[in-house]
Structure 1
Amino acid sequence: MASDAVTLITNDHRMMEQLFDRLRDGDGDRQLLLDECAARLTAHSHAEEQKVYTELPSAEEAHHGADEHHEAERLLHDLQRISPEGPDFDEKLEEFIAAVRHHVEHEESVVLPELREAVSPERLEELGAAFEEIRIAELAVAGIRV
């Protein structure tokens, strides 16, 4: 299994997309799924900001990514405050998903390719290990097993 930072981040993105599909489909307890989204988003964001964004050649991209994380977290917290059966839930869910997808698209098309060019494959492995360490520790605090 690849453990470089780019692969691990991309894998996390796919996991979130699976959660989005389950939320849209009503597959499971929506409140529990939102809680899992919150835990995974927070762990992912913190790990990226602390260990990966520091290696980006552009400080502007790092700030932009952090701002997008904070916006997604704000939208998710707003969503968590309303009932999954409420009339506004689906609209707010789509707004949250759109914000995360925008971030993912930018990160995968611009940020991660820049990172891959800026650092050695060995450094990408080191960043992957550091990213995973923080992510797993934060998920464990939230009660989510990896």
Structure 2
Amino acid sequence: MATDAVTLIMNDHRIMEQLFDRLRAGAGDRQLLLDEIAARLTAHSHAEEQRVYPSLPAEMAHHGADEHHEAERMLHDLQRMGPDDESFSTRLDDFIATVGHHIEDEETSVLPALRDAVDPARLVELGAAFEQVRLEELAVAGISVS
């Protein structure tokens, strides 16, 4: 199993996309899915900001953090309104598009820049630090990870 920061972050992105697909499809309890997305998004964002972003150029780190905060604000709005609200689908689409933009930005510029800036051993160290924060925050939120 890969343990470098780039791979772990990208794996987390794929999990989020799967949760978005389930939420859009109306599969399962949509409020529970929103809650899981909130826990995972928060854990991912905090882990990146605390452990990975300090290894990036300041402008890139600030931009990523700003995108995290915008996505979290949008998600909190969705949670407050709930899946039965008439504007939920439109706001959900906006939220997913915002996170999708962030994922694309990270995977096409931020993560390649990180890979170029640090050696492979440091990427593994960053991965371990990222994963530690992420798993601790998920545990607090009651999300078990196998």
Question: Is TM > 0.5 for Structure 1 vs Structure 2?
Answer: yes
Long gaps (5+) in structure 1: none
Query: Post-superposition shift, 1:91?
Result: 0.4
User: Equivalences for 1:41-60 in 2 at 5 Å?
Assistant: 41-56=41-56, 58-60=57-59
CA RMSD of aligned residues (A): 0.5
Long gaps (5+) in structure 2: none
**Secondary structure of residue in 1 paired with 2:81:** coil
Corresponding residue of 1:138: 137
| Partner Cα distance (2:53, 2:120) in 1 | 16
Corresponding residue of 1:94: 93
Corresponding residue of 1:82: 81
**Secondary structure of residue in 2 paired with 1:145:** coil
Query: Post-superposition shift, 1:102?
Result: 0.5
- 1:105 lines up with 2:104 in the alignment: yes
**Secondary structure of residue in 2 paired with 1:81:** helix
- 1:67 lines up with 2:66 in the alignment: yes
| Partner Cα distance (1:7, 1:93) in 2 | 27
Q: Deviations over 1:22-55 (max 9, x none)?
A: 0000011000000000000000000000000000
Query: Post-superposition shift, 1:86?
Result: 1.7
| Partner Cα distance (1:64, 1:83) in 2 | 29
Aligned residues: percent identity? 73
Number of residue equivalences: 145
Query: Post-superposition shift, 1:83?
Result: 2.4
Q: Deviating runs (4+, > 6 A) in structure 1? A: none
> Which AA in structure 1 matches 2:7?
T
